[in-house]
Amino acid sequence: MRSATYRVAAVQGDNERAECAVYFFGAGQGGSIQANLERWNGQFTQTDGKPAAAKIQKRTVHGLAVTTIDVSGEYSGMGGPMATARTVQPRYRLLGAIIENPGGNVFLKFTGPARTIAANERNFTQLLDSFQKE
């Protein structure tokens, strides 16, 4: 379930804003870390149609295990279950994170035009660094 949505204004040269969504489904919900990483990465291709290469890292934030993904390319994850056709957005980027928590993982997905994401990457890192164990 989407817990929060942050809309980020487009930087000069980008025509669309970016969006950072935070999801929390509860303990044992939301799918495995690997399944989410694969799904997010699968929403991107290179301009030749081949799969985009994702950079996946693990880190610890205030005692919480965090897995991050950074992937760029042509983004086709814009459609939902009611969409009749997938919209492909060129030069998009996704910064994602899955924060492991015994009460349920927290999923963050920051997606938008690559320049806008790059200009706000530090803000995304600051958001990640703000999570703490209760």
**Would you call 111 helix, strand, or coil by DSSP?**
strand
Query: What are the pLDDT digits (tens) for 105-116?
Result: 999 999 999 999
**Would you call 2 helix, strand, or coil by DSSP?**
strand
Predicted local confidence at residue 67, as pLDDT:
98
Predicted local confidence at residue 80, as pLDDT:
55
Predicted local confidence at residue 134, as pLDDT:
76
Instruction: Render 31-100 in DSSP notation, one character per residue.
Output: --HHHHHHHHHHTEE-TTSSBPPPEEEEEEETTEEEEEEEEEEEE-TT--TT-SS---EEEEEEEEEEE-
Q: What is the pTM for the complete model shown?
A: 0.92
Q: How far apart are CA 25 and CA 42, in angstroms?
A: 22
Query: What are the pLDDT digits (tens) for 45-103?
Result: 999 999 999 999 999 999 999 999 999 999 998 555 555 666 899 999 999 999 999 89
